[in-house]
């Protein structure tokens, strides 16, 4: 009887181990497949926004376009795709009516030395006339945007993400060492520019930069040499939001 019980126990243990191994094997194959499927959807979404395939760089866990706009492969695709509105320039997807009232920014320890520049950038967006868009900093979770330092290589000052699922783009990365030699105003400008991407704004000079076609913000069209959202001007671009920049934000928010 003892022998039978021992045999039964051993068989049961083997069955449990086999089932566990099988479950782990299934999860290890299923998760990457789901990740790949979502990455494919993200890639198509980027193309639907008008970015040509030649401008899309596969950067591991994200796709990078126009040097400073990142799309996480696990991002939630906006339900309305790229066509929220048919008419500065934006993605067609914006922060929703509730979240726009207080977009919470968490400053990573790697960026605390530039807290003054971050606050300067926030103040610019918060001061736009006729806009209900507001940024604030928080010291604990929950938050909407994480800003952190990251070495993005020479020539890239920072990167931001577009809104997704009604929330602001979740990440801003600043190449802190690369912009350290710039003036205070230019460092703040880089941060302010990336926050602009987080609320949906594209590069105003997209055409001159040879970038993909962008969607006009309703009622605010044309190029703008004074736009802080012009691309390719890190260290030399406008340091304050132009009239058109402000009009674009007011029109969207």
CATH number of the domain to which 236 belongs: 3.40.390.10
Q: Are 233 and 197 in contact (CB under 8 A)?
A: no
Note whether 201 and 117 are same-domain residues.
Answer: yes
The DSSP letter of residue 156 is: -
Closest by CA position to 248, among listed 207, 203, 213, 191: 203
Token representation of residue 38: 């979502």
**Residues paired with 137 in a beta bridge:** 105
Token representation of residue 159: 């990167």
Q: Choose the final residue of a domain: 53, 77, 101.
A: 77
Q: Quote the CA–CA distance of 66 and 51 in Å, as a whole number.
A: 9
Domain count of the chain?
2
The DSSP letter of residue 167 is: B
Measured between its terminal Cα atoms, the distance across the chain in Å is: 77
Note whether 93 and 122 are same-domain residues.
Answer: yes
Q: Choose the final residue of a domain: 9, 44, 77.
A: 77
Note whether 67 and 131 are same-domain residues.
Answer: no
Helices and strands (H, E) in the chain, number of each type: 5, 10
**Domain around 45:** 35-77
Preceding peptide of 63 cis, ω within 30°: no
Divide the 253 residues of the chain into consecutive groups of 10 and give the mean pLDDT of each group: 45 38 40 76 86 85 86 80 52 94 98 98 98 98 98 94 95 98 98 98 88 85 92 95 97 96
Closest by CA position to 72, among listed 155, 143, 162, 147: 162
Tell me which H or E stretch contains 145. Answer: strand 145-149
104 Cα distance to chain centroid: 14
pLDDT (tens digit per residue) in 12-64: 433 433 333 333 433 444 446 776 788 998 999 888 887 878 888 998 899 98
Alpha-carbon separation of residue 231 from 112, 147, 203 (angstroms): 25, 19, 5
Q: Report the pLDDT value the prediction gives residue 22, as an integer from 0 to 100.
A: 38
Q: Report the pLDDT value the prediction gives residue 66, as an integer from 0 to 100.
A: 79
> Does residue 7 sit within a domain?
no
Q: Report the pLDDT value the prediction gives residue 32, as an integer from 0 to 100.
A: 64
Q: Quote the CA–CA distance of 233 and 241 in Å, as a whole number.
A: 14
Preceding peptide of 142 cis, ω within 30°: yes
Note whether 204 and 115 are same-domain residues.
Answer: yes
Note whether 118 and 243 are same-domain residues.
Answer: yes
Q: Quote the CA–CA distance of 107 and 13 in Å, as a whole number.
A: 49
């Amino acid at each position: 009887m003892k022998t039978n019980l021992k045999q039964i126990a051993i068989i049961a243990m083997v069955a449990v181990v086999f089932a566990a191994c099988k479950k782990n094997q299934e999860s290890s194959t299923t998760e990457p497949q789901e990740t790949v499927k979502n990455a494919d959807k993200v890639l198509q979404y980027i193309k639907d926004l008008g970015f040509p395939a030649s401008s899309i760089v596969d950067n591991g866990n994200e796709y990078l376009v126009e040097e400073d706009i990142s799309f996480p492969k696990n991002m939630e695709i906006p339900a309305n795709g790229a066509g929220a509105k048919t008419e500065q320039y934006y993605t067609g997807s914006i922060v929703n009516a509730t979240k726009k009232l207080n977009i919470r920014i968490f400053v990573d320890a790697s960026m605390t030395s530039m807290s003054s520049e971050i606050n300067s950038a926030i103040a610019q967006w918060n001061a736009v006339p006729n806009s209900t868009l507001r940024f604030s900093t928080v010291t604990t979770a929950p938050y909407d945007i994480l800003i952190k330092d990251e070495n993005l290589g020479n020539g890239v000052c920072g990167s931001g993400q577009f809104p997704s699922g009604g929330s602001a783009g979740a990440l801003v990365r600043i190449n802190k060492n690369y912009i350290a030699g710039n003036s205070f105003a230019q460092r703040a400008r880089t941060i302010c520019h990336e926050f602009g991407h987080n609320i949906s704004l594209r590069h105003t000079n997209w055409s001159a930069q040879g970038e993909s076609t962008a969607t006009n913000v309703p009622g605010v069209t044309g190029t703008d040499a004074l736009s802080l959202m012009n691309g390719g001007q890190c260290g030399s671009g406008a340091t304050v939001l132009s009239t058109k920049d402000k009009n674009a934000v007011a029109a969207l928010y």
